[in-house]
Chains A and B, each alone.
Chain A
Amino acid sequence: RDKMAAAVATMMPNLGQQISSKNDMIPDWTSQEVSTGTTIMAVEYDGGVVIGADSRTTTGAYIANRVTDKLTPIHDRIFCCRSGSAADTQAIADVVTYQLGFHSIELDEPPLVETAANLFRASCYRYREELTAGILVAGWDRRKGGQVYCVPIGGMLVRQPVSVGGSGSTYIYGFMDSNYKPGLTKEQCLELTAAALSLAMERDGSSGGVVRLATISEDGVERRVILGNQLPKFSTH
């Protein structure tokens, strides 16, 4: 009977959530959707953008992937940071990558970041009832330089000089408000992002692992990883 229940739970994951399974033999992750709990962040600087994310994907209380890459390339100089349902965000990113690639070939020039952001927004807004996706679109183009666009759940689109997202972002709003100022250099942005992500990962159960960073500018994309033991440390109490 337990095997039947487990089989049912895996086949109908949503139903599993409604039937509260108090049976300890069936772990909760068999009935939970895969979520990129997450903390993501993107900062503009003069000449490009810095983006960062944690690396934890959870199914309920189980960490399905502790080295996830949530920074997804959409085009040569345009990336997106994904938060929310892993399936939803991967599907949307695939769709937008195709649409943007096609558009860029038609135009015969690199696409604008604003275009990519609008494509995300179009999908997220049209299917807003079905989707759970919070996305940051960031990149560099010749017209406006480094740009960060925020497409949260619901399908709004807004450009911001700095933006955070995901479940861990609530913990670092105060830190961001006090530490960000316009006119930071690339290195300062990298330090700020690494510090903010570490603080969020420390407090949010759905964020953790390593910090993945990327810098996007006219010269290209530079990726780096900060491992757990190399993260900036703050006074713990």
Chain B
Amino acid sequence: MDKRIWMKFSGKRSVCIVVLLREYVSSKTINKVIQVHDRIFCCMAGSLADAQAVTKAAKFHLSFHSVQMESPPLVIAAASVLKELCYKNKEELQAGFITAGWDMKKGPQVYVVALGGMLVRQPVTIGGSGSTFIYGYVDAKYKPSMTKEECLQFATNALALAMGRDNVSGGVANLVVITETGVEHVVVPGDKLPRFHDE
């Protein structure tokens, strides 16, 4: 189980992924953000085996599609590919995704593909086991049209709060900022996360 937060903010996007911990900590530094194309990232939650298989299939589909179209794929195309796979195989799969990126047609976008295969676009979305603890925080603190720095701070805070409460989330927070000009990775180890008054 992990948690992810995706936000769209004026012109850019921030993605935060956190690591999976189980009762047995199999790894503290799993990367759950898969780059499916130059400006499109996909974030996994649920059964990681299922999620990895689906994202690898999606990555292949997308690169093929992009070669056929002779242009970079749209973010909604990436999300739809995932959605098709999730919906058609809903009995076997247990994986949810957040797809986010930038394309020329609609700029920055965030799409969520839920467990059964629903596809919905949202300005901000959270997912994973730790997300339940931060619904209130995200609802309260999010406002449309934040700057990149505000967004990064908001995402880091939200992740820190969730990691503080969810026993199966922790380790390292991975954030990715996707803009028209490029992609920037920000990694925040657990001990550098912001602290709150409950400590």
Q: Which of B123, B135, B136, B138 has the most CB of A within 10 A?
A: B136
Choice from B132, B135, B164 contacting A177 with Cβ under 8 Å = B164
Q: Mark A26-53, 1 if CB is under 8 A from B, else 0.
A: 0000000000000000000000000000
Contact A177 B165, CB 8 Å, known A170-B133, A171-B135, A199-B135: yes
List, in ascending order, chain B residues with CB within 8 A of A234's CB. Answer: 139-140
List, in ascending order, chain B residues with CB within 8 A of A170's CB. Answer: 132-133
List, in ascending order, chain A residues with CB within 8 A of B143's CB. Answer: 235
- Chain A residues with a Cβ closer than 8 Å to the other chain, count: 23
Contact A237 B135, CB 8 Å, known A174-B165, A177-B161, A195-B140: no
Contacting residues of chain B (55-89) with chain A, CB-CB under 8 angstroms: none
Q: Is A171 within 8 A of B144, CB to CB?
A: no
List, in ascending order, chain A residues with CB within 8 A of B135's CB. Answer: 171-172, 174, 199, 203
Contact A174 B139, CB 8 Å, known A181-B197, A182-B197: no
Q: What distance in Å separates the Cβ of B139 from its nearest Cβ neighbour in chain A?
A: 5
Q: Is B196 within 8 A of A178, CB to CB?
A: yes
Contacting residues of chain B (123-167) with chain A, CB-CB under 8 angstroms: 123-124, 132-140, 142-144, 157-158, 161-162, 164-165
Choice from B144, B162, B197 contacting A174 with Cβ under 8 Å = B162
Q: What distance in Å separates the Cβ of B153 from its nearest Cβ neighbour in chain A?
A: 12
List, in ascending order, chain A residues with CB within 8 A of B165's CB. Answer: 173-174, 177
Q: How far is the CA of A235 from the CA of B137 in the complex (A)?
A: 12
List, in ascending order, chain B residues with CB within 8 A of A178's CB. Answer: 137, 157, 161, 196
Q: Is B122 part of the contact surface with A, judged by Cβ < 8 Å?
A: yes
Q: Mark A137-179, 1 if CB is under 8 A from B, else 0.
A: 0000000000000000000000000000000001111111111
Choice from B132, B136, B197 contacting A175 with Cβ under 8 Å = B136
Q: Is A125 part of the contact surface with B, judged by Cβ < 8 Å?
A: no
Q: How far is the CA of A202 from the CA of B138 in the complex (A)?
A: 12
Q: Which residue of A lies closest to B124 (CB)?
A: A237
Q: Is A196 part of the contact surface with B, judged by Cβ < 8 Å?
A: yes
Q: Is B23 part of the contact surface with A, judged by Cβ < 8 Å?
A: no
Q: How far is the CA of A181 from the CA of B195 in the complex (A)?
A: 12
Q: Is B142 within 8 A of A174, CB to CB?
A: no
Q: Which residue of A lies closest to B122 (CB)?
A: A237
Q: Is A203 within 8 A of B136, CB to CB?
A: yes
Q: Which residue of B lies closest to A183 (CB)?
A: B197
Q: Is B198 part of the contact surface with A, judged by Cβ < 8 Å?
A: yes
Q: Is B124 within 8 A of A175, CB to CB?
A: no
Q: Is A174 within 8 A of B158, CB to CB?
A: yes
Q: How far is the CA of A194 from the CA of B157 in the complex (A)?
A: 22
Q: Is A117 part of the contact surface with B, judged by Cβ < 8 Å?
A: no
Q: Is B197 within 8 A of A173, CB to CB?
A: no
**16 pairs of residues in contact across A and B, judged by CB atoms under 8 Å:** A171-B136, A172-B135, A172-B136, A172-B137, A174-B158, A176-B136, A177-B165, A177-B198, A178-B161, A182-B197, A199-B135, A202-B139, A203-B135, A234-B139, A234-B140, A235-B144
| 5 A-B pairs closest in CB distance | A174-B137, A172-B136, A174-B134, A175-B136, A174-B161
Interface residues in chain A, defined as those with a beta carbon under 8 Å from any beta carbon in chain B: 170-182, 195-196, 199-200, 202-203, 234-237
Known: A173-B133, A182-B197. 18 other contacts (CB 8 A): A172-B135, A174-B133, A174-B135, A174-B158, A174-B161, A174-B162, A175-B137, A175-B140, A177-B197, A180-B198, A195-B140, A196-B136, A234-B139, A235-B139, A235-B143, A236-B139, A237-B123, A237-B144
